[in-house]
Amino acid sequence: MNKNPYEVLGVARDASDADIKKAYHKLVMKYHPDKNPGDKTAEEKFKEVNNAFDILKDPQKRAAYDRFGDAAFAGGNGASAGAGNPFGGGFSGFAGGAGMDDILREAMRGFGFDGFGGFGGRGSAAAQQRGRDLLDTVTISLRDAYFGTTHTIKFSSNVACDKCNGNGTDDGKPAPVCPRCGGSGYVQARQGFFAVETPCPECNGTGHKISKKCSKCDGAGVIHKQRTIDVKIPAGVQDGARLRLAGQGEAGMFGAPAGDFYIDIHVKPDDKFERIGNDLVVRVDVPFTTLALGGEIDVRTIDDTELSVKVPAGTQIGARLRVRGKGMPNPQRSGSFGDLYIEIAMTVPTKLSEKQKKALEEFAGTKPSKKSGWF
């Protein structure tokens, strides 16, 4: 699994090419094997930095990462790996597996191509007929992100027809392979010097020849249906994370694999807690006497428990007191938590009794006189 290339280079998501280059050069100098002979950690970092730069320097790879995160570069389940790749070997070496295929499919959709039809893919018909991927966005609160939550999504999509088992046939058995194209869905035609592949007219590019169609789906093998899925959102999920539910997208045609369901997570900013990675920052007003003399304050944590925190005498405004393990759960390591930082703000008393006023004046070492001030 690749590390987040933005984090590896320490740049923002919207960093310019120049900034990325700069960050890369700095890190590559720092971790260069020549400078760190025999240092395994540096060597590992050096590789990470190079991998990250490899992704971010290339606009296409960067866009792919932004869209799909790790799925773009992970091996994936290989269900239809590479098969329907309309760009031939153009991306080879970049990534194999279903992840890349998804990106290509996404790109095709963007151009108005939708699996079927005259796009010059060379894969088997089954690869072309893999179900479409679906994408939805779920917005949750920071508290939900802390505990993890289950979100129910209602939507409608193609599912395999239950009458014909997704085969589109009257008897529910797999449809015979199209005799004209041999199941590829394409036939070759000559145009001058070139041999051009066009969708098979016999089977409309499906690769299957159905003599008697299923009455429920009219031979499509899929029907449109209302669906509900419960999405488990893991504790500690970061804003912008993309979850992938393999096989939960639209049903494939003629028994081809279903697409995947992607869920983009948006974690709403909290009005009390600021999140920095897995750490949390909370601002707490403390009476200035407590800051000066030291004492204890009560702080409410994100999981709504009250915490008694010691404030050392002489604590300054803006200081951050760290409480270990009271931040967000680390989604990468279960049972591990970030820290909570209590940022000290100060309250100034507005109503003082005569006695308190006197005490403060004494502390300040001055006695206000009628002559001071503007008048």
Which residues are at the interface with Zn ion (CB under 5 A)?
161, 163-164, 178, 180-181, 200, 202-203, 214, 216-217
**Cβ nearer to Zn ion, comparing 122 with 163:** 163
Nearest-approach distance from CB 196 to Zn ion, in angstroms: 16
Q: How far is the CB of 86 from Zn ion (least distance, A)?
A: 19
Q: What 3-state DSSP class applies to 33?
A: coil
How far, in Å, CA of 262 to CA of 246, rounded? 8
Q: Which residue number, 165 or 290, has a Cβ lying nearer to Zn ion?
A: 165
On whether the CB atoms of residues 55 and 92 are closer than 8 A, the answer is no
Q: DSSP state, 330?
A: -
Of 18 and 195, nearer to Zn ion (C-beta) is: 195
Residue whose CB is less far from Zn ion, 54 or 170: 170
Helix axes 17-31, 40-56, angle to 10 degrees: 160
Q: Min. distance of Cβ 77 from Zn ion in angstroms? A: 26
Query: Residue 56 or 161: which CB sits closer to Zn ion?
Result: 161
Give 166's contacts (C-beta < 8 A, 6+ positions apart): 160, 221, 222, 251, 252, 253, 254, 255
Q: How far is the CB of 230 from Zn ion (least distance, A)?
A: 27
Give the rounded distance of the alpha carbon of 66 from its chain centre: 8
Distances in Å between the Cα of 241 and the Cα atoms of 170, 320, 345, 366 are 43, 28, 33, 58
Closest C-alpha to 102, from 254, 246, 264, 265: 246
User: Phi and psi of 194, rounded to 5°?
Assistant: -100, 145
Min separation Cβ 214 and Zn ion, Å: 3
* Residue (219 or 327) nearer to Zn ion, CB: 219
What count of other Cβ atoms lies within 10 Å of the Cβ of residue 312? Answer: 10
CA dihedral 40, 46, 47, 51 (to 10 degrees): 160
* Closest distance of CB 180 from Zn ion, Å: 5
What is the closest distance, in whole angstroms, from the C-beta atom of residue 198 to Zn ion in the complex?
11
Query: Which lies closer to Zn ion via its Cβ, residue 23 or residue 178?
Result: 178
